[in-house]
Every structure is written in C-alpha cells, then in structure tokens.
Amino acid sequence: MLRLPQHTLDKIKKLLLLRQREVEEQLKEIEKDDPLTLDAPIESSESGTDSWQAEVHGRLVSLKTDLLDLSKKIKVSLSNLSKGTYGKCESCGKDIETARLEAMPTATLCLSCSKKSKK
C-alpha cells in the first residue's frame, strides 16, 4: 500500500464518502426530474413537448451514466482503502503520487501512465 500518513488516508476517505453521498443525491434528483419517468406529471400535447422531453431525458440519461460511473470508482477506491491496496497504479504497479490522490481520490493511474493512456 502507498505509504501515506493516516491523517491523509482519513482525509481521502472522508472526501470519498462525502462525494458518494453527493452522487447518490444527484441520482435521486435525476430520477425525479426526468420527464419520461412514470412518476412525472403528464404534459399537454403542445407542439414541441415530445422533442423537449426526449432532449431532457437524453441529457439526464447521459448525466446518470456519468454519475453511476463515478459512484463505481468511489466504491472501488473505498474498497481498496479497506483492503490496503489503495494508491497503486493499475498499469505499472507503482505508487500514485500523493498530490494526485489528494486532488483526485479515485485516480487509478499514476501521472506517467495517465499521460501515456491519453496518447
């Protein structure tokens, strides 16, 4: 495991848990705001309403997909913290830079491997 001070690990865990709660709240809001869910009120059949609903639904589905992906990354990071495997690069196995983990706690690649994967 990455040799981070316990207070840094605690700080990262706290950030991850906070972000997870925020993601869950945002997912609930998306479900509530989606005009094509069964719970949504039925709109009048004004011209353009169907296309507006489809457009809003499409944007919300995209946002929901991104949030679910982030939620999965947060859960993996929290699991790795518990198992003692947090902070290792998935590509090269080296420690991920501490500053990178503090800025982006769900990082799974070190900076070098991250740059390589974008080429």
Distance (Å, rounded) from C-alpha 86 to C-alpha 13? 11
Q: Are 75 and 93 in contact (CB under 8 A)?
A: no
Question: Residues 15-56: pLDDT tens digits?
Answer: 999 999 999 999 999 988 887 775 555 555 666 777 888 888
pLDDT at 45: 60
Domain borders along the chain are: 6-87
Smallest CA-to-CA distance from 96 within 74, 113, 82 is with 113
- ∠ CA(81), CA(117), CA(15), 5° rounding? 30
Question: Residues 65-79: pLDDT tens digits?
Answer: 999 999 999 999 999
